[in-house]
Every structure is written in C-alpha cells, then in structure tokens.
C-alpha cells in the first residue's frame, strides 16, 4: 500500500505542512518502560523536542515477530493428523507441546514488549530494547534513506522499517526482534506493532525532510525473502527524486548502539 499522501515529503517545505505535537515531558520517559538513567544514547537532550513515545502491541508482536499463532496452528494440525491416523497418544503429546510452545512464545513477546520503549525526537529515533540485557540504539533522522510501512491490523497498528545510510554499524542480533526480516547484510531497524503506524510514519517523514529529501516515499513492507539481492518493498515504489542523506564514516557522529 503506497502512501500517496507522502508524495510531497521530499520537498523542503514538507515539515511545515502538518502541525507537529508541542512535545512530551522528558521526565515522563523515565516512568514508562525501560529506563536510561540519563545515558545520552537513551535519553533525549534538554534541547531535543520529544514528539512521540510508544511500544509494541503485545498480541500483534506475538503474532508477527514471534509467530506464536503460526506455531499454534502447526501443532494443532499435528493433533488433527494424529487423530485421523488413530494415534490418540500422539495427539495428546502434540497438544501439550503445542500449548507449551505457544505459551513460551507469548511470554517472550510479553517480555519483549515490556522491555521496549521507542522515542521519536525532532533529531533522532531512540530505541530502548532488550529482554535480558538492555540495549540503547540511537538513530539520527538524517541517516534515514528510506522508510517502509506495513499496517497490520484494522485499528492501525503496524511496522515501520528504516534503510540507513553509511556503513553497517548495527547487527541483527543486537536489534532482534526490532529488525526487518531477511535483511542481514544491512540490517534495518524496525518499530514493531506500533499504534497508528501511518500517522507516525508521516510524522517521521516530515521530521526527516528537515535534513534533506528522503530517497523513497513510504511503501508497504513485503515479508517474503527478497530475490536477487533486492530489498523487499523496493519493487512496489519507484525512487522519488531527491538526494540521499550523507553517508557516515566510523569516527564521526552517527548511528550508535550498545548494551546498557
């Protein structure tokens, strides 16, 4: 689903087209989800305007990132097959294992959602993530080359993934499950199961336009593995005119991600 309404985002005046929130109280960030204890990578500076904060929606995260529903359906199919073949003992075992597996995946999704806080400011995106070891990831908006949106539920929850400029500085294991599937060479950080994803994507695009034109407008995420090295979703949206964000090099300010 291409967002045609974002066609003007690449213009220099796009940031002024839609009014943005006045900002959130910085102190409130320390009372919602994982804390950063003033660490600069996970805490907005005093002169930064906090535009949005959020976290994944539990049920959707369990279904899309941890595949709890798919695992449950698979085990249910094994139960049915065992009953058809006249093996009730195998059906009972499969039913117990399936219930346990779905419960474990759901608990992992709950732990992931509970230990996650996404923060959008007027200059960067902060991800406080990590179940066992908290990690703080700092993504300057000027390093975002393209954003991809997938609305996954009727109430507007969805995923937003980001293509970043420069060298690979973030790893899939560091980001998981907050990373776009099938993109291992250049991992793409992803906001998972966030509410009102389309409006949030619009806000991010407007803020990104303050630092120069974005390479592509937002387009639907394709979850299938990319073919011939093409990233999913590129075929759905042709490149829009504009210039890329400047590439970053090691030793210069830019992407940061490290365990807390």
Question: Could you report the per-residue pLDDT of 193-225, keeping only the tens digit for each?
Answer: 999 999 998 889 888 888 766 554 443 433 433
Give the start-to-end residue ranges of the domains of the chain. Answer: 4-19+140-228, 62-112
Question: Could you report the per-residue pLDDT of 66-82, keeping only the tens digit for each?
Answer: 998 899 899 999 999 99
Q: Are 175 and 39 in contact (CB under 8 A)?
A: no
How many CB atoms lie under 10 A from the CB of residue 100?
11
Instruction: Specify the pLDDT at position 106.
Output: 94
Q: Does the reported pTM lie above 0.75? A: no
Please check the confidence at residue 19 and state whether its pLDDT lies above 50.
no
Give me the sheet containing 135-140, strands edge to edge.
50-54, 117-121, 124-129, 135-140, 256-259
Distance (Å, whole) CA 247 – CA 239: 18
Please check the confidence at residue 247 and state whether its pLDDT lies above 60.
no
- Across the chain, what does the average pLDDT equal? 73
Question: Could you report the per-residue pLDDT of 231-244, keeping only the tens digit for each?
Answer: 333 333 333 333 33
Q: How confident is the model at residue 28 (pLDDT cuts 50, 70, 90)?
A: low
Instruction: Specify the pLDDT at position 210.
Output: 84
């Amino acid at each position: 689903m291409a967002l045609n309404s974002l066609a003007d985002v690449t213009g220099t005046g796009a940031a002024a087209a839609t009014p943005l929130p006045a900002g959130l109280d910085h102190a409130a960030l320390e009372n919602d989800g994982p804390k950063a204890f003033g660490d600069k990578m996970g805490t907005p500076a005093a002169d930064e305007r906090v535009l949005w904060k959020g976290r994944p929606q539990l049920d959707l995260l369990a279904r899309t990132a941890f595949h709890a529903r798919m695992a449950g359906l698979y085990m249910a199919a094994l139960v049915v097959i065992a009953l058809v073949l006249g093996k009730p003992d195998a059906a009972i075992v499969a039913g117990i294992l399936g219930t346990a597996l779905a419960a474990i995946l759901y608990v992992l999704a709950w732990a992931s959602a509970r230990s996650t806080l996404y923060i959008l400011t007027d200059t960067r995106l902060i991800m406080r993530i990590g179940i066992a070891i908290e990690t703080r990831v700092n993504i300057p908006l000027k390093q975002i080359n393209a954003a991809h949106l997938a609305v996954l539920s009727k109430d507007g929850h969805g995923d937003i993934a980001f293509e970043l400029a420069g060298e690979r500085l973030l790893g899939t294991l560091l980001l998981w499950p907050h990373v776009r599937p099938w993109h291992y060479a250049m991992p793409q950080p992803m906001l998972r199961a966030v509410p009102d994803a389309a409006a949030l994507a619009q806000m991010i695009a407007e803020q990104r336009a303050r630092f120069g034109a974005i390479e592509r407008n937002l387009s639907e995420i394709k979850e299938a593995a990319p073919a011939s090295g093409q990233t999913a979703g590129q075929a759905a949206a042709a490149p829009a005119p504009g210039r890329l964000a400047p590439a970053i090099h090691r030793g210069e300010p830019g992407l940061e991600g490290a365990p807390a």
